[in-house]
Amino acid sequence: MSRISDTRLRTREAAARLVAKGRLPHELTVDLIYAEIRQGSRTTINDELKLWKDEQARNDALAAALPAPVAGAMLSLWALAVEHGEQAFAARGEELEREAADATARAESLATAHSALEAQAQTLRAQLEEREAQLAAVNVERARAQAERDAAVQAAQSAIVERDTVRVQGEEALRAAQAAHTRELDAIRAERVAQEAALRVEIDTATGRLEGVQKRVMLQTEEARDAQRRAETALAKVQQRNEQLVGDVQRLTADAAEQRRLAERHEKQLASVMEEARDLRRERDSLAQEIALLRGQLSARGAPTPARTTKRSRQAT
């Protein structure tokens, strides 16, 4: 019995060494294990290797399903429990084997005490049955631990599903909020563009009115200058004629008076034109003030906040 237990233990140790060297668990064979340990039957090695591979597969599945700290702790606990059970099983098996050997030796040396040896053999069988019952209890405990581990795996999977659901809901809520924010920004931009267009129309209208007034003022000023030049020209002619006709003063007195009256009338016309020009200048100044007021209102409407003023200036540029 000790030989079989030692073979199983060394099979597990050899499998662990081969995996540590880079072999994959499913690549391990009976021949590879036997080449490592050089003892035991291939049937025993094959059975123990299958058990070891199944445990590795369950451990890998558990490590993939649970968080790393939880999986590591459970695997360590499970490995410790298995190692302890194997050691206890091996120790007890060796103890039973020694007791059987002693009983056999006594049976051979005390052939005359067959009845006593038979009773002792029955006692040993009873102890063996008790150990088998204990082993069955260990197997029941192992099954219970397996059930608890499966329940823990299922709970972990449920937690993962719930976490994924919460994450999806959060992402959907974030996308909805972003879409609403985008729509609000588009509405604000459209309103701002409409306001800017209306203000540009007002500015263009005021500018057109100012240009018209300026043209009128310039035209009337030019007409006043032309009238003044004509009056000056007429006055120069009169003076020239007076210089030339000094000798005929009496004859030209009436003409001179008429010329003076004409000059006075032209001067009055010039004064009227100048007054009208001053009125036009006052109207131009009033329009300039109105335009400045409109520009101030435009600036006030276009700059409710520093951030909007900066954006509007960039768009205007």
Query: How much is the pLDDT for 311?
Result: 47
Q: Quick check: 241 pLDDT over 80?
A: no
Query: How much is the pLDDT for 29?
Result: 94
The per-residue pLDDT for range 136-185, each reduced to its tens digit, is 888 888 898 899 888 878 887 887 888 888 788 878 888 887 888 789 88
Query: How much is the pLDDT for 1?
Result: 43
The string over 204-223, giving b where at least 16 C-beta atoms fall within 10 Å of a residue's C-beta and e elsewhere, is eebeeeeeebeeebeebbee
Contacts of 145 (CB under 8 A, 6+ apart): 78, 81
Q: Quick check: 78 pLDDT over 70?
A: no
Contacts by residues 193-198 (CB-CB < 8 Å, ≥ 24 positions apart): 195/301, 195/302, 196/302, 196/312, 196/315, 196/316
Query: How much is the pLDDT for 89?
Result: 60
Asked if 269 and 227 count as a contact pair (C-beta separation under 8 A), the reply is yes
Q: Distance between CA 46 and CA 274 in Å, rounded?
A: 126
Amino acid at 66: L
Share of the chain above pLDDT 70, in %: 81
Q: Which residue has the tokens 């449920």?
A: 158
Q: Quick check: 310 pLDDT over 90?
A: no
Q: Distance between CA 96 and CA 89 in Å, rounded?
A: 10
Task: Annotate 28-69 with DSSP letters as a single string.
Answer: --HHHHHHHH--S-HHHHHHHHHHHHHHHHHHHHHHHHS-HH
Query: How much is the pLDDT for 81?
Result: 61
Q: Distance between CA 87 and CA 15 in Å, rounded?
A: 18
Query: How much is the pLDDT for 53?
Result: 93
Asked if 43 and 134 count as a contact pair (C-beta separation under 8 A), the reply is no
Positive or negative, the CA dihedral 19, 21, 23, 28 is negative
Displacement of CA 266 from its chain's centroid (Å): 85
Task: Annotate 98-152 with DSSP letters as a single string.
Answer: HHHHHHHHHHHH-GGGHHHHHHHHHHHHHHHHHHHHHHHHHHHHHHHHHHHHHHH
Q: Which one is predicted more confidently, 165 or 246?
A: 165
Q: Distance between CA 55 and CA 145 in Å, rounded?
A: 13
Query: How much is the pLDDT for 32?
Result: 93
Q: Distance between CA 312 and CA 317 in Å, rounded?
A: 8
Q: Which two tokens stand for residue 275?
A: 């007054």
Q: Which two tokens stand for residue 282?
A: 């006052």
Positive or negative, the CA dihedral 281, 287, 293, 296 is negative
Residue (of 212, 228, 233) closest to 272 by Cα position: 228
Query: How much is the pLDDT for 228?
Result: 81
Asked if 129 and 44 count as a contact pair (C-beta separation under 8 A), the reply is no
The mean pLDDT value for 4-8 works out to 73
Q: Distance between CA 198 and CA 275 in Å, rounded?
A: 37
Q: Quick check: 10 pLDDT over 90?
A: yes
Highest averaged pLDDT of the listed ranges 108-122, 125-139, 189-203, 246-260? 125-139
Q: Distance between CA 230 and CA 136 in Å, rounded?
A: 139
The per-residue pLDDT for range 83-115, each reduced to its tens digit, is 675 676 667 667 766 776 787 788 788 778 788
Q: Model's pTM, two decimal places?
A: 0.27
Q: Which two tokens stand for residue 108?
A: 């051979």
